[in-house]
Amino acid sequence: MESLVNPSRRRLFRGKIQKKNVLRLPWVISEQIFTEQCTQCQNCISACETQIIVKDERGFPKIDFSQGECTFCNKCEESCKQPLFIEQKNDIKPWPAMVDINDKCLAKNNIYCQSCRDECEPNAIKFSYMANGEVSSIPQPKISLNDCTQCGACISSCPQMAIKVIINE
């Protein structure tokens, strides 16, 4: 049987061409450059000290925060032979994204939980008894996006998987 040379053509006929937002490696220049120039050598997957880099359905590396957090060790970048990363990282967030806590959060459902705050090293997640101008019997979470490093530690610690990374388009 002949091997499939271009799987994107098959997806075209199945009507499965859709741009799926995926969290790539930290400080990648852009999704387009990444998918055009990444050779899928998997060196970054092997180099990741926290094992959060996995293959997506097309074989490209992506970040999976359910596995743990990013320590920003840059081993993925060091192991890559392609020019895929931003050179000057000063004051630039690692991903064009933001972290959000949705309504599955235990605290938002009046069950005491602060597991995300306990894992957040930069203390970007604060809890307050005031939420939306009302007093709450259970402290409610709020993420300071300015303080958030986007390391993902809060994501894997959440028992409800209520914390998500929302990719800015």
- pLDDT number for residue 8: 54
- pLDDT number for residue 18: 52
Q: pLDDT by residue (tens digit) across 95-108? A: 999 999 999 999 99
State percent of the chain over pLDDT 70.
88
Residues 27-54 have a mean pLDDT of 96
- pLDDT number for residue 79: 97
Q: pLDDT by residue (tens digit) across 3-19? A: 445 555 555 565 555 55
- pLDDT number for residue 115: 97
pTM for the structure as a whole: 0.81
Q: What is the 3-state secondary structure (H, E, C) of 14-37?
A: HCCCCCCCCCCCCCECCHHHHHHH
- pLDDT number for residue 6: 57
Q: Please indicate whether residue 114 or residue 9 has the higher confidence score (pLDDT).
A: 114
Residues 131-153 have a mean pLDDT of 91
Q: Is the pLDDT of residue 32 over 70?
A: yes
- pLDDT number for residue 1: 47
Q: pLDDT by residue (tens digit) across 129-138? A: 987 788 989 9
- pLDDT number for residue 31: 92
